[in-house]
Chains A and B, each alone.
Chain A
Amino acid sequence: MNTSAPPTPPRLALVNVSKAFGAVQALRGVTIELYAGEVHALAGENGAGKSTVVKTFAGVHRPDSGEVRLDGEPVVFNGPADAQAAGVAVIYQEPTLFPDLSVAENIFMGRQPRTSLGRIDRKAMHAAAADLFARLGVALDPRQPARGLSIADQQVVEIAKAISRDAKVLIMDEPTAALTGQEVARLFAVTRTLQQAGCAILFISHRLEEIFELCQRVTTLRDGTWVGTEPLDGLTADDLVQRMVGRELEELYPKQEVAPGPVALKVSRLTREGVFTDVSFQVRRGEIVALAGLVGAGRSEVARAIFGVDRWDAGEVEVDGTRLPPASPTAAMAAGLAFVPEDRRQQGLVMDMSIERNIGLTQLRSLRRASGPGPLISRRVERDRARDWALRLQLKFSRLSDAVGVLSGGNQQKVVLAKWLATEPSVLIVDEPTRGIDVGTKAEVHRLLSELAARNMAVLMISSDLPEVLGMADRVLVMHEGRLVAEIPRAEATEESVMAAATGRRVGKEAA
């Protein structure tokens, strides 16, 4: 397959692995080999199957077909404990800590240092944790509870956990997503030390320059299929994007040019203490404005506050000139706001409820009025409206009475969009509209957003997907640590300028 591989068998490998979740085929015949002393990159768009690969290595998922090999021998991981016993440590995209337990306990859960009586030696545990933090160059208190740590600090705890395990294989799923430049440099230094010590490392990042800086080989996935594994030497960022996307970028981001109309959403000096501070911006009708920034920068929190899910401490929000009362989603909806949340499973949909019921949920009043006199909702009216929207969004379903839980991620996202578009909003806020959905549906969602803007809707889009931000937005607002730090017009928005602002470097302003 490749010539640069050392002759010894790989430490850990997936060989021809396939995995399906219900109707969604997450992986099809994927092969990845991790060698000792090598940092291997896994590239692919959102929804390409990277996280499924991670969870298969971690023993969370078992392959439907194909096998996992440890030092050349087939193994079956019956759960995360097996994988850990085999020396596999995983740092997940979202840190998985126990909020009520101390930082030291989080690191040493299940492997606490013991006294001769078998009791936990707290002193030794705290000292060991402090030692790890010293090696990592951070000053965290091992005694403090994990609740309330910043995402970057949580990530540090996860890394300390992996190091304390003396892991043979380290898997890092977007560990840098929430880190500043300095923290990334620190992480890389640690990673290289582990690499030199003979650790096999799998590294996932959306920032291509990080892949080129840290890794030796790269495996690319697209829509769950293996595209290729090759050395990074001699490869360019464009080559990599080409392999990940497999089509021209323009096609994926069909943005129409629209002359912006009057201001539809006006946010003035909005502050929620300790979360975000002094955020002001406007979105005009016909505009798509992206809100970019690192995970934890406070973007979703601003959106939640605008829609009234969370309370704000100071500032004001106006929709079409009407001031919104704080903390009232009902008032926000009445004023013409719609909010498609980040987490469609937890916040966007009622998974056990049917497609038609989910779509109808935002318009129960108007459905009742449309159902004729009396307090009851006609199922026929509800179904007709749902069918209408399902067709308009090209939803793939067998029956409208099916639970939304059986749909694929992309189709679920369409149901959430239908549910909110049916309220005929003047301002649409979408939080990570294409996270975890396949490329085809992604393009459809983008086309839809573009059409909505063309039809005079104001769209505020939160996205961590930089190509999406650059491809779709008329203007890019960038948040860093709870503040709006840059506003970049479409013409000047580049990966570099946005990332610079998002990581707190002030280069973005100079470029503008």
Chain B
Amino acid sequence: MTAVARQRPTRPTAKTGRGEGGLIDLVLRFRELGILGALIVLVAVTTAINPRFLSAQGVEDIFLNASILALLAVGQTLVVVTRNIDLSVGSVVGLVAFVVGDAVSGTQHGVLFAVALGVAIGAACGLVNGLLVSLCGVPALVVTLGTLYVIQGLNHYIAHGEQISAAEVPDAILKLGNGDLAGVPYLPLISVAVMLAVGCYLRSYPSGREFYAIGSSPEAARLAGVPIRRRVLTAYLASGALAGLAGTLWLARFGTVVADPARGWELDVVAAVVVGGVAIVGGVGTVYGAALGALLITTIGSVLVVLKINPFWQEAVVGLLLLLAISADRLVALRLARVLRKRNVRHG
């Protein structure tokens, strides 16, 4: 190797890195910072109009509401970075909330049992999705749209028009949803813990990086010997399990559960993830961004209530936000491509 080592670098120009590398880094950080900025502006403006918005109760409500959505967004991120999607999470949350509620009603079962059962049911649903997508090669959109309806139907069949009443649910479980640790409610603590764990896994572990590799270029991942099927299966398993956990927390928070309570949430989750900067075509994005996206969407819901705007507007606002986020992405991508194109020419 010495012969090579002695060769002088032939193109020292390539190392303009810092300036442009810094720019690229900034562009990639742009999303998280952008959401944070939007969040701050939103809160500031709303508080200026109605100071009670930032009351302890108001803030706690937002965090409680955002927790479950953020949990789902974290799971969804795992799936979306591999260039797939999981639309069944809303149905899974509903099924788990109902079935776990049914199982613990009138018993003295504890938190551990409820969480274990919920996660197990969710993981089972995720396993079905994952097997169909990774082994059978059916497009994820179709598979999870199918399981969305199947699980929904199952939930209605099991519920049979009944509902779970909070009075029947053991206190220990309800306490999980409404209690706190040193003043901080359990729910956001759980979500943050999960977010940090998954975020660290995706960033710092070799198998975590493979999720991004698969989404960035499936063909290159195949040629690099990345175990694509196993990773995609894992992503669905995790998304299902987290949806199961979210279902249990739903039960713990509300106590009273009707059949299919989280109907339509899958779209909120996907919106949160995309707004949070996870590219819908995979390869890019973090769970932190996704969780921030969930917080932003939830906050908008509360803001509309505080500002006494017809709640029907909420969906329109979320939709607008989504379009804005995607347009911003597109603009940034074009800008970036231009910068890189020019740089290429300079370096020949």
Contacts and interface: CB of A to CB of B under 8 A. Distances in A.
* Range for the number of chain B residues in contact with chain A: 35 or more
A195 B48 CA distance: 72
Given A100-B284, A274-B342, A90 B21 contact: no
B161 interface: no
Interface in B205-241: 205-206, 209-210, 212-213, 215-217, 219-227
* Range for the number of chain A residues in contact with chain B: 35 or more
Interface stretch (A10-18, A109-117, A226-234, A366-374): A109-117
Nearest to B281: A100
Contacts of A481: 345, 348
Contact of B347 (A60, A135, A150, A183): A150
A139 interface: yes
Taking each of A79, A137, A140, which has the highest tally of chain B beta carbons within 10 Å of its own beta carbon?
A137
A84 B4 contact: no
Given A110-B206, A145-B24, A98 B213 contact: yes
Contacts of A148: 336-337, 339-341, 343-344
Contacts of A139: 9, 11-15
Contacts of B337: 148
Nearest to B214: A98
A273 B10 contact: no
Interface string B15-59: 101001100100000000000000000000000000000000000
Contacts of A136: 4
A109 B215 CA distance: 14
B258 to A, nearest CB: 42
Interface string A123-147: 0000000000011111111011101
A153 B343 CA distance: 13
A84 B225 contact: yes
A186 interface: yes
Contacts of A79: 225
Interface in B254-292: 279, 283-284
Contact of A143 (B9, B17, B200, B226): B17
B232 to A, nearest CB: 15
Nearest to B343: A148
Interface string A186-214: 10011011000100000000000000000
B15 A193 contact: no
Contacts of A101: 209, 212-213, 216, 283
B345 A138 contact: no
A115 to B, nearest CB: 9
B7 A109 contact: no
Nearest to A272: B341
A118 B205 CA distance: 7
Nearest to A274: B341
Given A137-B4, A275-B341, A120 B212 contact: no
27 contacts: A81-B225, A83-B225, A96-B217, A96-B219, A97-B220, A98-B216, A98-B220, A98-B221, A99-B283, A109-B224, A110-B210, A110-B224, A119-B200, A120-B205, A120-B209, A134-B9, A136-B4, A139-B11, A139-B12, A140-B14, A141-B15, A143-B21, A144-B21, A148-B336, A148-B340, A150-B344, A273-B342
Given A100-B215, A139-B9, A275-B341, 11 more contacts: A80-B223, A81-B225, A83-B225, A97-B220, A99-B283, A100-B279, A109-B209, A136-B4, A144-B24, A183-B10, A186-B7
